[in-house]
Structure 1
Amino acid sequence: MEKEDEFLFTYFSYISQQCFDKSKEHVEKEKPAKGPVTPYITFLNFLQQLGVSEKNYMEIGFMHNKQKSFLRKDNSLRATYDYMKNDLKKIEDSCKNQNRRLQNYCQNITQFINARINLVDLYDKMYKQALSNKHMIYKDFLNEIETIIQRHCLGFTDITLTPMKAVFSLECEVVQQLFKAMVELQKLRFLPSLALVHGAHARLAAWENRMQKETWKLGLFKNSPLPTLFLWLQKLKGAVLSKFSLYFHDILANQTTPMDMRHLCSRLHQDFYQKMVTFQRKYEAACVILLSDNQVSCDTADYDSFPIIVSYPPRSPPQLDIILKMISDTNELLTLKPITKFRSLVRTDSNSSFLEGVPQFYFQDQCTYCLTMVEPNIYFVILFESKKSEKDAWIDFSKNF
């Protein structure tokens, strides 16, 4: 490896390990004390700027609300990367036919910056979608991350950028595995979901092992030596695992004791099943149910209990047919807003005689149904065997579940 290659390889090794102070010192040592400003000196100055931008990226600086105004330059991270591409182009043009090695560096780093911009755009879409009152279409995000992977699989392949290529691939694969898992969860496929969550976990562990963990002070994550973006992806994995534990609670519970199951679920990012139990007991709901509307391929559910995914108490309510009919007739469920409905039915006592001259006995069934869609074709239902107002029915539900 040539001296310049070795220098740049070490620089990108520091960047990939989150050692930004070391990368800055490494560049400073390479600069001559005096002399004319050559294209290579300009390139070294650029590397220091790149280190600052990479640290900002790992701190999720692209989420900061820095908007362009009439008299103010757009100083968002995405705009910074665009400015840096222009700087690289100038350096490349200044050394044409003179320093092909430097030209190659500029071209490869430009490819890397393009990949960064694509990821910034993806994360920005995810953030905006999470703030909207709409369901996230996991398949669309999966297609986008797979497009990014395919687009840049042959990019920035110079040996000097090998460390950055490795961590970029791990980051993309973590996102890919998690969105694949969410797609499989919507279809209630147990084994594919489990394998994909494990795949994301393994890649996060491999990425963490590459970090040397400089001292970080990152807002909400002050006590962690890991960068914010990495912690955010860890939390996303935790959220997917929590959803997995709810959707397949009954399957998992059959593999261990109730005490061990409660202990394992208590260590999750969110113990959704215990929240269901606590809510049902606290507000005396007849049942709390997660169910599908038969439009998904549930390859693991017991046919007799289908379409219920999980419920507490663990039984099928006699009002199940009413619930399914209500779901199919309620267009408002396409939004994230909960719907509350009250129904009063008169039923014949099944134990009364139908012989002529024998009186028939009737009773009134009054129930309040609270419904919301949590995934396309997956619904969350709370049933009260009494009349509740819309305000009372949900009882600050968002704080309890």
Structure 2
Amino acid sequence: MTTGTATPSCLITAADIACIDPLIGNDLCPLLRQFGTAMSKARFDDARGLIESFRGTRVPISASAEDSLCHLLLSACIQIVKAESAYYSLNFMVPKAFFRRESTLLLTYTQIKAELCRMDGVMGNTKISAAEDIRRRLIDFTSARVSMINVYNSFLVEINHDSLTSLFTFVADEIVVMKLLLEVQLALIRCEFLQSLIKLKSAYVKLRSWFSSVGYKHTLTKTTVKFFGFGPQVQFSPLRLCSWTYEFYMLLLAKFSLYFHDSLQPQCSTGDFDHTVSAMKSPNFVQLFATFRRRTEPLCILLIANRCNAPDISPLIGYDCAADLDDGEEFLRITGGI
């Protein structure tokens, strides 16, 4: 009687059997961490390979609800890889042609999300498991992609139409102006004064062009008709959007100039400047500063010159960051204007 020895095929089978344990959400976390790293670097083939290699070692167990959910999550990840590759190519924005099919990327993300939502409640009313938490995060991700695709698709509005060119130009002018003004605000928050000045000038040019195209003038007219013995009535422009945008521009201009109090002060009397600044109270801030600007005519003042990396510029001009050698803190030092 002889004793049998295990063949290599039997050893492989035993190893496979050891991997038939039901999957749980915690088993996926290390894998998804690697998957997310690969996706964040746009290495889509590597990301797909990670999921497929792992999935190939596990056998679905229908008797386990969490195992079924985990395999659904793995399948969703592979679909997301394919969708993300198409998303980053921007092929979904290519206009449909005679021999080109319409992009189905939006539908793909919607179907992935629907499949994930279909598994809602599969784990019962127990405490949220790791797999359930992953499912919800993937739903959030696909929802964000659907929203972004809709945003990009909104840019595809056809404007090359002889009858509608002026209409879309009307909208585009407003968008450009508002974008510049918001960039000015952001630059001021960051103390990027040169960028603020450049964008303020660009915004002013665009404002003039926009106002000219719509016939807007920032002036108040007084009628000569009196009602019930009261004084002349002041008429405001009906284009209040333009008025609001102009006030926004003036507010940013005032905010920009107030950063340069020490540079502006020599250009007018101290009393006028201090009075204007101290008297600025909402809602007269813009009006008072406009009065100050009109009276002092500071059009010849050179406000900006970044001397941080330009030692050849006179120390009487511009601004730089001075460092306190004791504590290492830096502050913005305004050094003058002409």
Fold equivalence (TM over 0.5): no
TM-score normalised by structure 2 residue count: 0.41
* Higher relative contact order, chain-length normalized (CA < 8 Å, sep 6+): 1
Q: Greater Rg, structure 1 or structure 2?
A: 2
Q: With the length of structure 1 as denominator, give the TM-score of the two structures.
A: 0.36
